[in-house]
Amino acid sequence: MRRCVIIGGAGIERYDIVRARLRDDDYFVFCDSGLRHAEGLGASPDLIVGDFDSHENPHMDVETIVLPREKDDTDTFFAAKEMLSHGFEEFLLVGVIGARLDHTLANLSILLMLDTAGKSAKAVDDYSEMEIVSSGPAFIEDTYSFFSLLNITGEAEGVTIENAKYPLENAAIECDYQYAVSNEVTPGVTAKVSVAKGRLLLIKVI
């Protein structure tokens, strides 16, 4: 099945970084003001979702879901839930990390929601790639400058980091002590991170 790419309205300055991670057969969902990124990403919408409080409805010949402005879900969260119901197994979130910290944190929770559903999901911005580490290990190539593991769920035990400058074995990371920040992959190999209990946010700095 095609990967679902959901584009939000947060700022993107380095379009080349994002474009390099897109695929020709991706299914593109543009959320409200995410439409302003269409040209920079070189992508056309397969679906448009939004309440259009930050971007005019373009009335394109494309399926469009118009949402009420007063609702519980953000446009981006609604889009993720909608595409989850359509059976997509892999997701990429773009334009979801920006100046609005409240929206950024809400959008990161989409990664948690998709992980709970057993789906593969990543978010990418101008500087990094993000994903949830839970039931299976994650890998970091030495092409990344740094990587960090953050506890954003309140529980993370049995944390192991291999092939890195600062390894860990069966450790715990608490929300009030985020010490697994700015690690480096050992040159020439691939780092591996895993968690036995709980979930972690892995941020790989490009």
**pLDDT tens, position by position, 185-197:** 999 999 999 999 9
What CATH number was assigned to the domain covering residues 4-126? 3.40.50.10240
pLDDT at 69: 87
Residue owning tokens 């897109």: 22
Radius of gyration, alpha carbons of the chain: 17
- Say if 4-126 and 133-205 have the same CATH topology: no
- Give the angle 138-12-42 at the CA atoms, nearest 5°: 90
pLDDT band at 29 (very low <50, low <70, confident <90, very high): very high
Distance between CA 45 and CA 198 in Å, rounded? 35
Distance between CA 26 and CA 145 in Å, rounded? 27
Instruction: Evaluate whether 1 touches 88 at the Cβ level (below 8 Å).
Output: yes
Sign of CA dihedral 4, 95, 17, 93: negative
Question: In this model, does residue 71 exceed pLDDT 90?
Answer: no
pLDDT at 53: 86
Classify domain 133-205 at the CATH topology level. Jelly Rolls (2.60.120)
Domain residue limits, the chain: 4-126, 133-205
Percentage with pLDDT > 70 across the chain: 100
Q: Give the model confidence (pLDDT) of 109-126 as tens digits.
A: 999 999 999 999 999 999
Neighbours of 197 (CB within 10 A): 11
- Give the angle 201-176-126 at the CA atoms, nearest 5°: 35
Q: Is 34 helix (H, G, I), strand (E, B) or coil?
A: helix
Neighbours of 119 (CB within 10 A): 17
Distance between CA 200 and CA 154 in Å, rounded? 9
Amino acid at 26: D
Residue 164 contacts by C-beta under 8 Å, 6 or more apart in sequence? 140, 147, 183, 184, 185, 186, 191
pLDDT at 54: 83
Distance between CA 65 and CA 2 in Å, rounded? 20
